[in-house]
Amino acid sequence: MAKINFGGVVEEVVTRDEFSLDKARQVLKNEVVAVLGYGVQGPAQSLNMRDNGINVIVGQRCEDKDCWDKAHKDGWVEGKTLFSLEEAAKRGTVIQYLVSDAAQMMTWPQIKPCLKKGDALYFSHGFSIVYKDQTGIIPPDFVDVILVAPKGSGTSVRANYLAGSGINASFAVQQDATGRAYERTIALGIAIGAGYLFPTTFQNEVYSDLTGERGVLMGALAGVMEAQYNLLRKHGHSPSEAFNETVEELTQSLIRLVDKNGMDWMYANCSTTAQRGALDWRHEFRKAVEPVFDKLYASVASGEQTGIVLKANSASDYKVKLDAELREMRESEMWRAGAAVRSLRPENWKK
């Protein structure tokens, strides 16, 4: 591992300087990696590994026609590299359990009997293991239980790989039945194209992930945008102006400066008026949301959020309700304005 100073705290991480792709191929040369689920993370991780020369097969529920057809389109061949969930699990020596959290709970009774002594059971989220009292997922003691969790959506994992970069990922070993769990985990992380790998635990991964998704990454971001947009509209600003000042300038300009060199660099490259106001109001916003984050983290740690997810996502009408909620967001004035703004970007101008 390489020792890196993260803001005054030294952490150990794994990069390709210490663990090369060739070494990963050597570690995995006798493995059959069975990727179960071809929804969000499954396509990206399986395709990246296939491109990197790893022996990969895919398991997918045949009744999920959209995902099955997508797997066909991506070059997985039924009966050779594409199988049912159970058949793929039986054939694999590394079983990447990448169906949704709710689907893991529902399919575990079929998958558990397929596990063989010496297999590795791989997760990209600590959810099912940490909340085992709710999911019922308790792996047998004769398999490695490991985790590689990319810090991005499957779409980004694949796009960054194709662009020659990578998405950072955390890793953890929950159970080492073979004595090879650590090297298997790191090899798989390198094989899926991680930028670098940093250690965690299953519990820390799921607590941070659930908090992040509901917080800054998605829930808080959407809520704060909606609040500012609605405020500007209430005071007579046009949809175009409200959207540009709320979303477009953030995504097309400022966040790219943060990505390049950090928040302070973005501040340094804005007007002095913007700097002063942002520096002052930053503290107001932090103090306002700290109680919300305290409540959110407590809800995650208690398992309350897990119960909500499992109940909602296991319901027969989940997809219908999800589509309705997303449609409500999509058809709101703010995001209809966003569609119009995006259509006016120079790359979309008619040539």
| Residues classed as catalytic | 125
Q: Phi-psi category of 201—alpha, beta or left, where left has phi over 0 and alpha has psi -120 to 50?
A: beta
Tokens (6 digits) for 71:
């797997």
- What pairs with residue 219 in β-bridges? none
List the one residue out of 124, 192, 205 whose CA is nearest residue 160: 192
Pairing of strands 169-175, 144-150: antiparallel
Rounded Cα gap, residues 318 and 311, in angstroms: 9
CA-based end-to-end distance of the chain: 51
Tokens (6 digits) for 255:
């966040």
Question: 194 vs 1, 7, 21, 143, 145, CA distance in Å?
Answer: 15, 22, 11, 24, 19
Rounded Cα gap, residues 28 and 5, in angstroms: 31
List the one residue out of 112, 168, 107, 99 whose CA is nearest residue 145: 112
